[in-house]
Amino acid sequence: MIEVAIQKNIKTYNGNNQLLINTTFATNTITQIFGPSGAGKTTFLKILAGLVQPEQGYISVENEIWLNTRIQINWSPQKRQTGFVFQDYALFPHLTVEQHLLFGTSDTSYVQRLLAIGKMQAFYRHKPKFLSGGQQQRLAILRALSTKPRLLLLDEPFSALDYALKQSLLLDLKQLFTELQTTCLVVTHHPLETEGWAEHSFALE
């Protein structure tokens, strides 16, 4: 189980606001997170990854305490080892597709498997600027999986994919998550897109 209780001041165009989240997530499952634009979905994922600090908070993952501001526990992003797919992908411009994946693992057969899951075998030597938007998005997902993360945080990860590609990717990802025992939190503007795939939903008001 993942337990979260956080309070974060967020700056909006019409002043300051508070992001208050107090909930639990089941591990080894997929939870979709939705809510209106500006509600704090991206900020929440970044807090879980350790990239943004809340004013007060507690995060535990399977009884490991990642954050407890009351007693100054705050694991670094490196120690939390989450996989993260950013909305803007954050790819490395100078690395090829294959090098992106080898950055996270030295297991070359796993790299081949990831390339197959993303239908990226033909592009393994390409750098990001020679990839389409959908190919870049798939690479961002594969890179996040290259480290076999326990917790995978996806921020609008399927927005650039066509229907057929998305369906086959969703199936393959679910199989991989089961094997790796990965817990996945996925932010989406289109809950219908991941309905049926995600086992749980969480609404951020």
Ligand X SMILES: Nc1ncnc2c1ncn2[C@@H]1O[C@H](COP(=O)(O)OP(=O)(O)OP(=O)(O)O)[C@@H](O)[C@H]1O
> Which uninterrupted H or E stretch holds 52?
none
Rounded to a whole number of angstroms, the minimum distance from the CB of residue 187 to ligand X is 7
Structure tokens at 136: 């870049």
Q: Write the CB contacts of 52 (distance below 8 Å, at least 6 apart in sequence).
A: 8, 43, 46
Query: Of the two residues 162 and 205, which places its CB atom closer to ligand X in the complex?
Result: 205
Per the structure block, which two tokens stand in for 181? 């025992």
Least gap, CB of 137 to ligand X (angstroms): 15
Q: What is the DSSP string of 134-161?
A: HHHHHHHHHHHHHT--SEEEEESTTTT-
Nearest residue (CB) to ligand X, 39 versus 173: 39
Q: How far is the CB of 38 from ligand X (least distance, A)?
A: 5
Shortest distance (Å) from residue 205 CB to ligand X = 11
Residues of this chain that interact with ligand X (CB under 6 A) are 10-12, 35, 37-43, 52
Nearer to ligand X, 85 or 101 (CB): 85
Q: Is 103 helix (H, G, I), strand (E, B) or coil?
A: coil
Residue closer to ligand X by CB (options 75, 110) is: 75
| Strands laid side by side in the 83-85 sheet | 83-85, 151-155, 183-187, 30-34, 200-203
Shortest distance, position 181 Cβ to ligand X, whole Å: 27
**Smaller CB distance to ligand X: residue 2 or 153?**
153
Tally of CB atoms within 10 A around 99: 15
Q: What phi and psi values does residue 163 have, to the nearest 5 degrees? A: -60, -50
